[in-house]
Amino acid sequence: MSAMEVVRPMTDAELDQLCINTIRTLSIDAVQQAKSGHPGTPMALAPLVYTIWNRVMRFDPKDPIWPNRDRFVLSNGHASMLLWSVLHLTKTEAVNAAYENLGQPSVGLDDIRRFRQLDSKAPGHPEYHWVSGVETTTGPLGQGVATSVGMGIAQKWLANHFNRPDFEIFNYNIYAVCGDGCMMEGISSEAASIAGHLGLDKLCWIYDNNHITIEGNTRIAFTEDIAARFQAYGWNVLRVGDANDIDRIEHALEIFKKTQGRPTFIVLDSHIGYGSPHLQDTAAAHGEPLGDDEVRLTKRSYGWPEDAKFLVPPGAYEHFASGIGEHGAQSRREWTELFAVYRTKYPELATEIELMQRRELPAAWDRNLPTFPADPKGIAGREASGKVLNVLAQNIPWFLGGSADLAPSNKTALNYPGAGDFQADSPGGKNLHFGIREHSMGAIVNGLSLSKLRAFGATFFIFSDYARPTIRLSALMELPTIFIFTHDAMGDGEDGPTHQPVEHLASLRAIPGLVTLRPADANEVVEAYRYVMQLRHQPAVLALSRQPLPTFDRSKYAPASGVAHGAYVLADPPHGQPEVILIASGSEVSLAVQAHEQLLAEGIRSRVVSMPSWDIFEHQSQEYRESVLPPNVKARVAVEQASTFGWERYVGTSGHVIGMNTFGASAPLKELQKKFGFEPEQVMAAAKAQLGREKSKETMRT
C-alpha cells in the first residue's frame, strides 16, 4: 500500500465481527498457553456474549457494582475465558473489599496471558470475590443458573420495597448462559420450577444447545425435549437457530425484555469449536487445548494473523467503549441523578439502600431480642430461633428467608403483621417458600446475598447434605448467608437413622470459612444470631434442637455472650483448679452440667466448657484458648451426639469422646440416649476414668 492510500474505516458489522473474533482468539491463545482449559465453548458463544455485553446489557465498566446494573452469570463456568475476555475488552475496573474503585483493570492482558496460573485474575472458573465484574462463582454445573433465580427473586423484592412512582430504583435484568451440563444437573430443574412459579420476568437463561459433553454427543445420555420442559415450567421459550447471528440474538433478547409475568428461556443452536476446521462437534474441542497446528488453522478461518498471540487489534477497545462503555455510563449517570432526587424525597429508604450495599446493619438492629429466663424444662432451639427471626426481620428491612417446605417444623415462619409470603402476586413478602428443593434453596439464598439482601434458608440438619454444594460455594464466595438446620441430633428418634444426622457437623466444620454453631440453650441461640448477623464475609450454619433444652440459670453459670468466643467456661469448681474438663455442644451441654454437679458433690473438681463453634474458637487468641482449655489439665471428656471425628484436637489423643461411631436407630429419644451413652452417668464414668488414667500416669512418674 502506498503512502497515498487511505485505509477504509470499518463498518459497524465489521467491528462487531472483529470484537467477536478477538474474544475467540484471546480464549484460544489463553487455553493453548495454559495447556489447560476449554476453548470450544468460548469459540461458539463469543457472538452471544458479545451481543449481551456490547448491545444489550446495562453495565458500566467504570462502576461494576452499581446497584441497578444488569447481571451476567456464566453458569457453564468452564468457558471462563468468555468472561475474562469481555471484562478485559470493556476495561471493567477493579473494586476492593471496601467497595472502593481502584482505578485499575479488573482483568488485564497479562492476567489473560497467565490464564489458570497462580494469582492471575483469570482463574479457571469465574470467582466472585476474586475478580470484579463476576457476579457469582460458577463451575459446578447448574449452580450459576440456580443462583440467578435468587437474583431474580431479589430484583422483585427490591423493586417492590424501594421503587416509588417515577422512581424505578431497581429494574435490572439477569442474563444467565448455560449449557447441556447445567440442564442435566438436578439443581437447574429445581430452580427453573421455582422461577416459573414465581413469574420472574427479569430473568433470562440462554441455553447453549450444542449436543456435546466430555464423553461425546449428548444422545448417549440426554435426549429429552428441553424446550417442552421449560414450557411446562411456565417459561417463555424462544429459539435462535444460528449462534453466529447477532441480530437474531439481540431480537430474542429484546423479546425477553418485553415479556411480562414469566422468565425467558432462549435455546441457542451452536457448534462447539466454531471456526476450528477439524474439531467441531467433538469433545476434544470442549475439554482440551486445540494444539498449535489447529490454532493456526482456526485463526486462518477467522481471517486472523496466524502467528499473532493475545492480539487485540485496533478498533476493538474503541468499539466496546462506544458500545457498553457509553450506554452503560449513561444508564448509571441517569440512575445516580434519579437516586439523588430519591434521597431527598425518601431519605430513610435511600439510607437502607446505602447500608445494604455495604453489607451493614441499621441502627438498633438487635433491639428487643429476647432473653429467656432459667427453666429446667426449657425451650427447643428451633422455638427460640423462631422468636429471634421474627425480631430480626422487623428490625432489618432487607432480612428475609424461608424453609424447604418445613417452616412449621423449622419454626422459620415470619408471622408478625405485614411479613407476608413472597409470591408472583405479592413480591414484597418476606417468607420464601422453596418447596422440597434443598439444593436450589441454597443457591437461591446465595443469589439473594449476592444481591445484598440478608437471607436465610432452612431444613432438617440431615438434609444439609442436599444443600452442601451451595453452602460450600457460599463459603468460597465469602457471603454472609445463613443456613438454619433443625432436628440436629436424635430428637426425632422414631424416624430412625435416615433422619438422624451423624457425620454432618464434621462435614460442615471441614468447610473453610464456614461458621458452624450448635447452641446449648435458648440464650445461646440468641447470642449465636447476634454473632452471625454481624458477619459480612462469612456464611453461617446454625444446628438447632427439635426437643426442649434446659435454659441455664445465668446467675449461676456464665453468660451466654461467651458464644461470641466459640467456646467458654460455663461452669467451674467453686475452689481450686479443675481436675477434669467436660466439653460439649448443643443438647449435650446440659448432660455435661448434670455430670459436673454430681462430680462436685463427690469432691471432684470439674469444668464445663460449652463449645458451640469450633471455627470461632480457633480464631481466638492462644491466651484465650488456653484459659478455656488449660494445657496442664489433660483429663478431658467431649460429649456430642455426632461423629467423634475431629474431637481429638480438644481432648487430646488420650482423652475420651462420647459420640457416634455408627448410625442411629429408630426408637424414642430416651431409649436412644441410653443405648448410645448420652446420659450423665456415662459422662461421670468417663470423667472418673480419665482422672484415674492421669493419676496412674502420675504414680508411674513418681
- Choose among 141, 328, 145: nearest CA to 230: 145
Identify whether the C-beta of residue 190 lies closer than 8 Å to the C-beta of residue 144.
Answer: no
CB 541 within 8 A of CB 636: no
Angle at 282 between CA 276 and CA 286, to 5 degrees: 80
591 touches 680 (CB < 8 A): yes
Which H, E and C letters describe 351-402, residue by residue? HHHHHHHCCCCCCCCCCCCCCCCCEEEEEEHHHHHHHHHHHHHHHCCCEEEE
SS3 579: coil
Q: Quick check: 72 and 175 in contact, CB under 8 A?
A: yes
438 as an active site residue: the answer is yes
Is the C-alpha dihedral spanning 71, 468, 365, 428 positive or negative? Answer: positive
Residue 359 contacts by C-beta under 8 Å, 6 or more apart in sequence?
Answer: 452, 480, 536, 537
- E strands, 431-547, are 431-433, 454-460, 482-486, 515-517, 540-543
Run of H or E including 608? strand 606-610
The DSSP annotation for 628-691 comes to: HS-TT---EEEEEEEE-TTTHHHH-TTSEEEEESS---SS-HHHHHHHHT-SHHHHHHHHHHHH
CA dihedral 122, 126, 127, 130 (to 10 degrees): 30
Name the active-site residue from 185, 383, 438, 588.
438
Half-sphere exposure for 157 (CA within 13 Å, toward CB): 29
CA dist 44 and 268 (Å) reads 10
- CB 377, CB 555: distance < 8 Å: no
> 430, 422, 427: which is closest to 400 by C-alpha?
430
Q: Choose among 251, 248, 267: nearest CA to 259.
A: 251
Q: How far apart are CA 326 and CA 323, in angstroms?
A: 6
* Cβ contact 637:656 at 8 Å: yes
Residue 331 corresponds to which cell in the numbers above? Answer: 444508564
The rounded distance, in Å, linking the Cα atoms of 676 and 678 is: 6
C-alpha cell at 473: 460455594
What are residue 88's phi and psi, to 5 degrees? -70, -50
- C-alpha span between 108 and 115 (Å, rounded): 11
498 Cβ neighbours under 8 A, 6+ residues apart: 462
Under 8 Å CB-to-CB from 571, ≥6 apart: which residues?
Answer: 557, 558, 593, 596, 607, 608
In angstroms, the CA 443 to CA 549 distance is: 32
Cell 440462554, located at residue: 206
Q: Which amino acid is at 489?
A: A
Q: Which residues are known catalytic residues?
A: 438
